[in-house]
Structure 1
Amino acid sequence: MTDKPTVGFIGVGLMGHGMAANILKGGYPLYIKGNRNREPVEDLVSKGAIEVTSPKEMAALCDVIHLCLPNSDSVEAAMRGDDGIMAGGKAGLIVVDSSTANPTSTVALAAELQARGMHMVDAPLGRTPKEAEAGMLDAMVGADDAIFEKVLPIIDCWAGIINHVGPVGSAHKMKLIMNFISMGYAALYAEALSIGVKSGLTPQKINDVIGASRLSNGFFETFMSCAVGRDMEAHKFSITNASKDVHYAAAMASDARALNPVGAAAMQYYSYVESIGKGSDNLPQLADHVAQLNGFDMAEAVKNGAE
């Protein structure tokens, strides 16, 4: 037996699997609910997790529930309804949403939970599945001080850097600012590659010169490892997720009455790729689609640049 709180985890995909595995390593009893991909579910069950069939069932069994889902619609579906967390949870339950979500939705859900004596924490993530498996993600946390102290030991299982940003909703706002920058980088890098290649430079030379300069960063390195190095596993984040994030950031800007012309321009690339049915492509493959719009094949340009 353990005196640690019982934890639930919904969404054990690319990021969630590593997070859940590290919660298990931390000695917490863990219930999980997976999706269509059975591999991570079965792996976690083999490590000691118990699978449940609904968020309602999980809520009745747990003290803290983590969500790591694709969007706010998915989060709301897990929270509300006859089989949702709110239907099964008891007073004192804490829901930690690690999705990249719409802050307006987060604040609304927090109010609904509070009315039932439950609590909401937003704790979106930074970094990649590799850091998720290593327990070294970045975490931004939105919660009042007392609830933050309760969930901190659990978050510490899967995060290397933890920033308490402010009250509920503030961490999702911070995450959208971060993703606005990173998705802006991706659109800028994709366009820069096309301009350079159309002007007679090779993709390799663009990568080498910028990569050795002060303009380089970790995001640039993984993006170019895929776009130029053609390693399709280097930066696993879908264009659909990128599109969702820039749309959420645009909504946040609109709510704040803040100008967002750069975001609006970047959004067009993501919306275009989704419109042609390629939203499941990884983010750096945006460079391939921008190249096609410019009349050339990026993979062919990379091949020619190596000759």
Structure 2
Amino acid sequence: MTHSQETIGFVGVGLMGHGMARNLVEKGYPLTVIAHRNRAPVEDLLGRGATEAQSLEELASRSSIVFLCLTGSPEVEAAVAAMKPGLKRGSVIVDCSTSDPTSTARIAEDLAGIGVDFADAPLSRTPKEAWEGALDCMVGAKDEVFRRIEPVIGAWAGKIVHIGGIGDGHRMKLLNNFISLGYAALYSEALSLSRKVGIAPETFDKVIRGGRMDCGFYQTFMACTLEGNRASHKFTLANAYKDIRYVESMANAATVATTMTSAVKNSFASAVAQGGNGPEDYLPHLADFIARANGID
């Protein structure tokens, strides 16, 4: 099968998936999607030329490559189980979620028994880059599977790195998120301490911005604090908490002490326990929860 003959299924057209799917259909790939809770992205994609499946089994039967962009491993496992009767031998499922590598390996082994390949291709960056087709993607896949899916991933990714075998993409994604979520916890606590000792966020930012501690993540995070842009980084605290638990689990399995991981996890656990588990409780809002815990408005 040539790349030009691939038919694409997409499960999970949410904050990230909508932009990814839009790039696939607008760059000429036949695309089948399925609705979940929110029909608005599906209607938009249908207007661009996609078709809608009424079940995951139907979506699988129409697709040579299926992309999953879901919350985590339980949702991925459920979706794969529902698709399994419709999957064609020789097709590929590509999991773009941030998932547990142990689950990834188990799913891949199960699908190999019916002649279906599995790859993990988690993402980095934000919904803005998803819409622009400029996401970063780290891929765990057999070499021949990577060669097949790389040009399709290229429809929505600007940077693609083949990390290694199945599960290695998810392992690298967890390392990536450990660093980014660690930044979020550090920024949040630093901002609280800054306020407590009488240094305004604007003054704090004048020192950090443009210096060696500045980065793109810092800028989207601080847009909430400085500009009041509550949607500057649309990644939920609940998802962040899930991801850092996966990091801790991976470290436990590898017999690595989790001094920093557990400290970051506890920052997010506290925020979620205080009610920061809604669909619009985003990553930069962690600073609010840490501030309140320290008696700061």
String of CA shifts for 1:22-64, please: whole Å, max 9, x gaps: 1112211100012111111100001111111221111111100
Report whether the alignment pairs 1:34 with 2:32.
no
- The aligned runs of 1:237-248 (5 Å cut-off) are 237-248=235-246
Give me the whole-angstrom Cα distance separating, in 2, the residues matched to 1:229 and 1:258: 39
- The aligned runs of 1:1-307 (5 Å cut-off) are 3-80=4-81, 84-280=82-278, 281-297=281-297
- Residue 301 of structure 1 is matched in structure 2 by none
Give me the whole-angstrom Cα distance separating, in 1, the residues matched to 2:212 and 2:151: 37
Residue identity matched to 2:116: M
Aligned to 1:161, what secondary structure does the other structure show? strand
Aligned to 1:242, what secondary structure does the other structure show? helix
- Residue 302 of structure 1 is matched in structure 2 by none
String of CA shifts for 1:69-110, please: whole Å, max 9, x gaps: 011111011011xxx121211211100000011111101000
Give me the whole-angstrom Cα distance separating, in 2, the residues matched to 1:3 and 1:15: 24
Aligned to 2:155, what secondary structure does the other structure show? helix
Is the 8 Å Cα contact of residues 271 and 290 (structure 2) preserved in structure 1? no
Residue identity matched to 1:289: F
The TM-score normalised by the length of structure 2 is 0.97
Give me the whole-angstrom Cα distance separating, in 2, the residues matched to 1:35 and 1:50: 15
Residue identity matched to 2:288: D
Is the 8 Å Cα contact of residues 236 and 282 (structure 1) preserved in structure 2? yes
Is the 8 Å Cα contact of residues 227 and 288 (structure 1) preserved in structure 2? no
The TM-score normalised by the length of structure 1 is 0.93
String of CA shifts for 1:118-166, please: whole Å, max 9, x gaps: 0001000011111111111111011011111111111010010000000
230-239 or 244-253, which moves further after superposition?
230-239
Aligned to 1:236, what secondary structure does the other structure show? coil
Residue identity matched to 1:158: W
Shift of 1:3: 4.9
What stretches of structure 2 of length at least 5 have no aligned partner? none
Aligned to 2:99, what secondary structure does the other structure show? coil
Is the 8 Å Cα contact of residues 122 and 137 (structure 2) preserved in structure 1? yes
Give me the whole-angstrom Cα distance separating, in 2, the residues matched to 1:201 and 1:116: 61
Give me the whole-angstrom Cα distance separating, in 2, the residues matched to 1:170 and 1:5: 25
Cα RMSD of the aligned pairs, angstroms, is 1.1
Residue identity matched to 2:7: T
Give me the whole-angstrom Cα distance separating, in 2, the residues matched to 1:146 and 1:235: 35
Runs of 4+ in 1 over 6 A off after TM superposition: none
Residue identity matched to 1:224: M
